[in-house]
Amino acid sequence: MASGSEGTVVTRFAPSPTGFLHIGNARTGLFSWLYARHCGGKALLRIEDTDKARSTQEAIDVILDGLAWLGLEFDGHTYYQSQFEARHAEVAHELIARGAGYRCYLTQEELAARREKARAERRPFRIDSEWRERREGDWPADEPFVVRLKAPREGETVIEDLVQGRVAVKNEELDDFVLLRSDGSPTYMLAVVVDDHDMGVTHIVRGDDHLNNAFRQLAIIRAMGWPEPHYAHVPLIHGADGAKLSKRHGALGVHDYRDMGILPEALFNYLLRLGWGHGDKEEFTHEEAIAAFTLEGVGKSPARFDMKKLLNLNGHYIRAAGDRRLAELIAPKMGPQADVDLLAQAMPVLKTRARDLNELADGAAFLFETRPLALNDQAAALLDADARALLAGISERLHAEQDWTTGGLEANLKAYAEGLGLGLGKLAQPLRAALTGQTTSPGIFDVLALLGREESLARIDAQAGPA
């Protein structure tokens, strides 16, 4: 299944289906995707679905849907790790044949006793199996075994990481880890290496929580005589308090941010700039991001997730978005009565203050309220006897108004306010409460124009009192 060719950069994004696409994984996937695109290479997608209990089709679909929503389109077909278990086992047995792996017949009880002995002696536990140098003639018949790698024991393993720089570990710290379990199934450590090689992956961009794995994986790669990939281990995302991003910080999945009303281009741009810099530029289209992205721009320190900054950026993208698109996005949030044409017409005045689509939907809700209008507590408190008397006068003026446009309505009510010796705000406040049931809304003349003459007058009259 090799996909690379000489000189071609091939990256892969390899999420495990856990029920959602983690925001940190999404950023890693974005960086991996951007690097391949920047280099004119290939970006591949592999679903690591070997955990049968968790890897349901529903969980897989959530990941695929989240990536598509973000605009990350991968090359070729989607790989599924579970399809290659026979190949993984084949490599494990080849490592035995090469003298780089071995069958280990240590039982769980024996391992537990040795682990306990190391703990009692206050020393790190390392596998030191007497089966390491045994040959086929020494293998017992019909006894369960695992296949372990013969990890190097002298010298050090060095990685020239494209983000972290030079990182080294003494080989004596590496253990003879398991490649195949006793039931013949491959471990993650083996499967990842085999799949990356067979897919032709040249550059592995992933979270720095996998850095320790890289030293062990390199031991397999070198034992097989395979080309070594370039590694780029990206720091994790932290919360505002500096701790690793977790449930206590709030939303973790890409779908959570979509449900919160974040636009995909806003989340794409925010994740791009989270731990990656390019001068003073803050906003990037996909094409600009591809052109600018390099791994040299990725910082070595964890980035901090700032929800306020994301919302501010999202507000910018809402204001830049097409009115029809926004109307179609919020209409499903508003029930069957929502009129997409009216929403699109209202967008220029609705989208100026909204930071997310849910705010935008809330701001548009007044357009589709049925009479009698429900008033919130602030609006109800505002509509005292004096305010209702003002509404009666406003109603009389507006019933006679022939120019039902924002300009005509503004001229009429300004003149009425001046005649009463009042500021326009004194009229706008009760009018807003009567028209929307709230004390905040778009400009009052926009509200009147959007609701139309008949509906506006009906709402005002429903709240007006004796003059």
CATH number at residue 276: 1.10.1160.10
Query: Does residue 256 fall inside a structural domain?
Result: yes
- Is 6 a residue whose pLDDT tops 60? no
Residue 58 has pLDDT above 80, yes or no: yes
**Residue in 247, 281, 300, 308 annotated catalytic:** 247
Write out the two tokens for 107.
Answer: 């039982």
Are 293 and 379 contained in the same domain? no
Q: Is residue 165 part of a domain?
A: yes
Q: List Cβ neighbours of 336 (8 Å cut-off, separation of 6 or more).
A: none
Nearest-angstrom CA–CA distance, 198 and 231: 17
| 7-21 CB burial, b ≥16 within 10 A, e <16 | eebbbbbbbbbeebb
48 occurs within a structural domain: no
Q: How far apart are CA 91 and CA 86, in angstroms?
A: 9
Quote the number of domains for the chain.
3
* pLDDT on residue 124: 86
Q: Is residue 84 part of a domain?
A: yes
Q: How far is CA 416 from the centre of its chain?
A: 52
Q: Within this chain, do residues 117 and 185 fall inside the same structural domain, yes or no?
A: yes
Q: What is the CATH number of the domain that holds 395?
A: 1.10.10.350
Q: For residue 372, which phi and psi values (nearest 5 degrees)? A: -75, 135
Which residue reads 């009880």 in tokens? 109
What tens digit of pLDDT does each residue of 302-346 get?
A: 999 999 999 999 999 999 999 999 999 999 999 888 999 999 999
Residue 141: inside a domain, yes or no?
Answer: yes
pLDDT for 4 beyond 70: no
- Concerning whether 247 is annotated as a catalytic residue, the answer is yes
**Is residue 357 a part of any domain in this protein?**
no
Confirm whether 252 is domain-assigned. Answer: yes
* Confidence at residue 248, expressed as pLDDT on a 0 to 100 scale: 72
Q: What is the reported pLDDT for 20?
A: 85
Continuous H helices in 304-368: 307-320, 323-330, 340-350, 357-364
Residue 451 lies in a domain: yes
Q: Are residues 315 and 387 in the same domain?
A: no
Q: Which of 220, 214, 216, 176 is nearest to 194 (CA)?
A: 220
Question: How much is the mean pLDDT over the chain?
Answer: 93
| Separation between Cα atoms, residue 289 and residue 277, nearest integer Å | 11
- The Cβ of residue 115 has, within 10 Å, a number of other Cβ atoms equal to 12
Q: Supply the range of the domain harboring residue 406.
A: 369-463
Q: Does residue 3 register a pLDDT over 60?
A: no
Domain final position from 320, 351, 380: 320
pLDDT at 166 over 90: yes
Residues 376 and 316 in one domain: no
pLDDT tens-digit readout, 88-119:
999 999 999 999 999 999 999 999 999 999 99
Q: Are 232 and 161 in contact (CB under 8 A)?
A: yes
Q: Which of 155, 172, 191 is the last residue of a domain?
A: 191
pLDDT score recorded for residue 50: 82
Hey, CA dihedral for 284, 288, 290, 294, is it positive or negative? negative
Helix 211-224, helix 85-97: angle, nearest 10? 60
d(CA 31, CA 74): 13
Domain at 165, CATH number: 3.90.800.10
DSSP secondary structure letter of residue 208: G
